[in-house]
Amino acid sequence: MIQVRGHTLLCFQGFRGEGYSPAFVENMTRIQQDFSREPQMPVRVTDAPDQVCASCPNLSDGGCHLNGPGSEKEMAEQDRDVLRRLGLEKGQVYSWGEILHRIGQSLKPDDLDEICEGCRWLPLGYCKEGIRRLTSG
């Protein structure tokens, strides 16, 4: 089983091997490959640092510091927003396939403009493209 933050569920939709450090990219790639091989993999959803964050150079004892002090609070709020939109409950376990289904049923690509406002990856359009693939079948 893997633990994944709410907003990171969306990040996987656009991940293309870019990231914050080589260790981060390697970890995210491995997890993404695991999900691809095993869509029934159990995922515990959370609103706190997860197994993806574990390799991020922006993780500190207080959580995420991507945008400086206070970033963890912002990230946790974003996580809770995503979980609410997808109808998922923090701490509960879902299959990766169920999560993908919920993303495809619950979100439109343009929803990311609000959900992910300020994300440095949003302007690249990768995540919107990933959401578009899920919503189109």
In percent, the amount of the chain with pLDDT more than 70 equals: 99
Q: Specify the 3-state DSSP secondary structure of 104.
A: helix
Mean pLDDT value across residues 27-52: 96
Task: Please report the pLDDT score of residue 71 as a whole number.
Answer: 87
Please tell me the total count of domains within the chain.
1
Confidence class of residue 137 from pLDDT cuts 50, 70 and 90? low
d(CA 7, CA 13): 11
Asked whether the beta carbons of 107 and 56 are under 8 A apart, the reply is no
Q: Average pLDDT, whole number, for the chain?
A: 94
**Residue 65: pLDDT over 90:** no
Residue 91 and residue 46 in contact, taking contact as beta carbons nearer than 8 Å: yes
Interatomic CA distance for residues 22 and 57, integer angstroms: 10
Q: What angle do CA 86, 101, 77 make, to 5 degrees?
A: 25
pLDDT digits (tens, 9 = 90+) for 10-36: 999 999 999 889 999 999 999 999 999
Boundaries of domain holding 13? 2-135
Q: What angle do CA 101, 74, 93 make, to 5 degrees?
A: 35
Q: Which of 125, 116, 135 is nearest to 7 (CA)?
A: 116
